[in-house]
Amino acid sequence: MNITGAARSPSSIGWALCLAMAAAVLPARAPAADPVNLEGTWKISAPQLAFRPEGGSIPFTDIGRKRYAQNKSNLAKRAYEEYDYATARCASPGLPRLMLTQGRFRIWQRRGWVGFQFEWNRLAREVDMGNLTQPQLRVAANSLFGQDDVIVGRAVPISKGHWEGDTLVVATEGFQNNTLIDNLVPHGYDLKTTERIRLQGANTLEDRITIEDPRYFTRPWQTVVTYQRQPDDPFPENVCLVTRTTEGAAVKP
Amino acid sequence: MSKRAAHPMRFGWAMLAMAITAPLWAHHSAAGYDLTKTLSAQATLKEFRWGAPHSAAVFTIKGPDGKPEDMTVACGSPAMFVKQGFMPKDFQIGDKMEITWHPAISGHLGGMLASAKVPNGRVFKDVEFAPGLTPSDVLKQADTAK
Amino acid sequence: MNSEIKSIWTGAAVLALLVYAGAAFAQPLGVPPPGAEGSSADGGLPPGGPPGGPNGPPGGGPPGAGGPPSADAAASLLAVPPLPADAPQPSPDPHNFDGTWYHEALLQFQITTDMFGNKAPFNDAGLKVQQRRVKSLKTGTPFINASALCIPMGQPWQMDLNMPFHIFQSKDRLDFAFEEYHGLMQVIMDPAKALPAAYMGSSVGHWDGDTLVVETTSFKDGLWLDVDGTPTSKNAKLTMRIRKVKSDHWFLEVEFTLDDPIYYTHPWSWMRDYSWRPDMTLFHEYNCELQTGAKDGVDPSLVPEPRD
């Protein structure tokens, strides 16, 4: 409908506008080509601080076991600054830890990519589905930022995704080494994760995560997290630096 | 509706802008640091904080009272380190180096890293905010960034 | 100096301060009681955080300002090539703002005039704050501000810095997700569902023909409109009139109007536009709290701003 500036009676313009707007402002939907629509607002089914490994225990290397023990000892002393910048500073928890958020997140499916918007501290992650406009200037390998990402990694790298039937398969690598897998488990630069994300029924989302880092684990190990669909309500502003309970909040000048 | 320059011209003006104003830029960009002063200390690396908006490093140095004190300095990007042959991932907590920095005008300990000399004698020079950058330096750096 | 060259000088100097916040709060940030603010279910806990709330290091001093970009960074920030010819185009629907948008124009250091070329209508109180901040840059002791702390700094600053943002549009709202500061603004279309007070304020939108009118109030603190610190009070009302335009390229045109009797004699407006850039969809990471959340993370060159 073409709304022009031509003079019309106010009430008919009003109705016309209402109808036009209702029709025009369609809810954003997953691209028609996607096999499944994962869009919506999700929240972890069972809050947990640590991933539960399938098989019962995490297959640590000696280095991994030692670091894990150090982290546990620091946790007991609440010495978060020694090993957990997310807790100590509100730094990005990184992946896959961000998938343990006890807040909500929203999935947006768009042409060429999938976005996750987290309630916690307004963080986000992106999955490159492979047919985006190139070059992607903010992360191009020959851009300053792109170079930095390659050199030292990111807490939340850009993931690469593709569909396998009804499952979104998401591969992530290029991590910095200053985050944790969850609240305690260490990792290094060589961490790689593979997530298989799919719906279980209409209102449950499942993320099956495979974690691989030969320096810290003798073999890849898996864990599963599920989320329940929530109403698509907006997220009230969440600013970790302001809400965290520390002896001295960062914002005191 | 705003007038829009064609893209190539916009690009051109931007490059010209940087060339003309490089000295001004070098000065303004370090509004809170005294680029005419350089302090130095023996330092132990505590942490690199790579990332936006800029990277920083935390060093433990000997404070004025002789006790160890932590000092935070803004530093160059990982790419800048690599350009000078230093691999950021190779730095370890506890590495010893001789550092120089431009102090904060405010008087707070810390500032902007100017150089870091590692035990094997090699020196990293933080050239982002070096005073006296000439326009051709800027253009050359900009060219290599493309 | 003719105005073109002057704007280049200004623009380049501005560019240098692109991410260098270099300044402080309009007034010291009101620190809400721990746990009182924020309404995420986890009460601010990071994922996998400890029970009973995170306990960070004591002190938690003032956060660092953004550092100035290197020549390389400036080059990559400034030098935006034209969109490839085969890049997808946005929906022709004028009411669909979904996509990735980017402020291409050189950052304006200081918004000194309105969109008609009139000087920003400061009253005495506003002028005092503005001059104090400009002076702080000259004395080499710039003030701490929200950007330096890496907490939300309001729409004008968030939308001025040359970094992209996504708009996710659904029938009830528009989510603006910014690369810089991993910022988020949610525009709620039903006033009954407006969000509570926030550092980004509370934004309610309605359509006026093809223009989305976003009215933002309930700011938790005053804002810095620009890197020089042109002030707003927390009582400000910010209106953004946004429309999607196609010239030689698609862009969003935004008319910002500030209504803030605390610092200005009357409301005034300025214009910005944001190019459609699907080639900026994948964002660089902005993990600023890694620095600003550390007790020694304050940029030592910054000082607290005196209270009025």
Of A101, A124, A244, the CB nearest to C54: A244
Same domain, B3 and B60: no
Asked if residue A78 is part of any domain, the answer here is yes
Using one digit for the tens of pLDDT, what is the confidence trace for B36-84? 999 999 999 999 999 878 899 999 999 888 999 999 999 999 999 999 9
- Total structural domains within chain B: 2
CA C103, CA C270: separation in Å to the nearest integer? Answer: 14
Q: Does A148 contact B at CB distance below 8 Å? A: yes
Q: Which residue in C289, C296, C303 has the most chain A C-beta atoms within 10 A of its own C-beta, making it the best mutation to test that interface?
A: C289
**CB–CB of A148 and B146 under 8 A?**
no
Asked if residue A77 is part of any domain, the answer here is yes
Q: What is the mean pLDDT of chain C?
A: 80
Confidence class of residue B3 from pLDDT cuts 50, 70 and 90? very low
C106 vs B141: which has the higher pLDDT: C106
Spatial neighbors of C49 by CB under 8 A, at least 6 apart, are A49, A86, A87, A183, C42
**pLDDT score, position B15:** 35
- Chain B CB contacts of A148 under 8 Å are 50-51, 77-79
Mean pLDDT of C156-184: 96
**Range(s) of the domain holding residue A154:** 10-243
- pLDDT for C122 beyond 60: yes
Same domain, B52 and B123: yes
Asked if residue A1 is part of any domain, the answer here is no
Same domain, B20 and B88: no
Of B70, B80, B144, the CB nearest to C296: B70
- pLDDT for B129 beyond 80: no
- CATH code: domain of residue B75: 2.40.50
Q: Does B88 contact A at CB distance below 8 Å? A: yes
Confidence class of residue C107 from pLDDT cuts 50, 70 and 90? confident
**CB–CB of C140 and B29 under 8 A?**
no
Q: Angle, nearest 10°, between helix axes B135-145 and B7-28?
A: 130
What whole-number percentage of chain C has pLDDT above 70? 74
**pLDDT score, position C108:** 86
Confidence class of residue B95 from pLDDT cuts 50, 70 and 90? very high
- pLDDT for B10 beyond 60: no
- pLDDT for C201 beyond 90: yes
**pLDDT score, position B63:** 86
Strands C202-208 and B96-103: unpaired
**pLDDT score, position C297:** 81
Shortest distance between the Cα of C170 and any Cα of chain A, in A, equals 4
Asked if residue A225 is part of any domain, the answer here is yes
Using one digit for the tens of pLDDT, what is the confidence trace for C229-281? 999 999 999 999 999 999 999 999 999 999 999 999 999 999 999 999 999 99
Residue pair C46/C293 in contact (Cβ under 8 Å)? The answer is: no
Of B78, B145, B146, the CB nearest to A152: B78
**CB–CB of B31 and C137 under 8 A?**
yes
Q: Does A52 contact C at CB distance below 8 Å? A: no
Asked if residue A251 is part of any domain, the answer here is no
Q: For the residues of chain A, what is the DSSP string, one character each?
A: ----SS---HHHHHHHHHHHHHHHSPPP---TT-SS---EEEEESS--SS---TTSS--B-HHHHHHHHHHHHHHHTT-GGGT-HHHHH-----TTGGGG-SSEEEEEEETTEEEEEESGGG-EEEEE-S---SS-TTT-TTSHHHHHHHHH-BSSPPEEEEEETTEEEEEEE-B-SSS-SSSS----TT-EEEEEEEEETTTEEEEEEEEE-TTTBSS-EEEEEEEEEE--PPPPP--HHHHS--SS-TT--
Of B50, B145, B146, the CB nearest to A152: B50
- pLDDT for C207 beyond 50: yes
- Which range (C62-66, C207-211, C292-296) has the least confidence? C62-66
Of A148, A176, A189, the CB nearest to B79: A148
**CB–CB of A245 and C35 under 8 A?**
yes
Same domain, B18 and B49: no
Q: Does C81 contact B at CB distance below 8 Å? A: yes
**pLDDT score, position C39:** 28
Q: Identify the segments of chain A with pLDDT beneath 50.
A: 1-8, 22-27, 247-253
- Chain A CB contacts of C172 under 8 Å are 232
CA A193, CA A96: separation in Å to the nearest integer? Answer: 8
Question: Which residue of B lies nearest to A142 if distances are taken between CA atoms?
Answer: B146
Shortest distance between the Cα of A214 and any Cα of chain C, in A, equals 23
**CB–CB of A147 and B146 under 8 A?**
no
Same domain, B89 and B116: yes
Of C34, C47, C172, the CB nearest to A102: C47
Same domain, B112 and B55: yes
Same domain, B89 and B135: yes
What is the CB-side half-sphere exposure of residue A87 using CA atoms within 13 A?
25
Confidence class of residue C21 from pLDDT cuts 50, 70 and 90? very low
Same domain, B94 and B136: yes
**pLDDT score, position B114:** 95
**pLDDT score, position B25:** 29
Question: Which residue of C lies nearest to B133 if distances are taken between CA atoms?
Answer: C71
Residues of A (186-215) whose Cβ lies below 8 Å from B? 189
- pLDDT for B130 beyond 90: no
- CATH code: domain of residue A100: 2.40.128.20
- Chain B CB contacts of C253 under 8 Å are 1-2
**CB–CB of C78 and B32 under 8 A?**
no
Using one digit for the tens of pLDDT, what is the confidence trace for C88-98? 999 999 999 99
Same domain, B113 and B131: yes
**pLDDT score, position B128:** 63
Same domain, B141 and B93: yes
Of C9, C80, C180, the CB nearest to B24: C9
**pLDDT score, position A132:** 96
Same domain, B61 and B107: yes
Asked if residue A2 is part of any domain, the answer here is no
Shortest distance between the Cα of A41 and any Cα of chain C, in A, equals 12
Q: Which residue in C15, C37, C40, C143 has the most chain A C-beta atoms within 10 A of its own C-beta, making it the best mutation to test that interface?
A: C40
Q: What is the mean pLDDT of chain A?
A: 89
Mean pLDDT of C181-189: 98
Would the pTM count as exceeding 0.80?
yes
Q: What is the mean pLDDT of chain B?
A: 75
**CB–CB of C29 and A251 under 8 A?**
yes
- Total structural domains within chain A: 1
C227 vs C64: which has the higher pLDDT: C227
Shortest distance between the Cα of B141 and any Cα of chain A, in A, equals 11
Same domain, B65 and B127: yes
- pLDDT for C294 beyond 80: yes
**pLDDT score, position A13:** 58
**Range(s) of the domain holding residue B18:** 1-30
Of C8, C64, C248, the CB nearest to B20: C8
Residues of C (215-234) whose Cβ lies below 8 Å from B? none
Confidence class of residue C308 from pLDDT cuts 50, 70 and 90? confident
Chains that touch A (3 or more CB pairs under 8 A): B, C
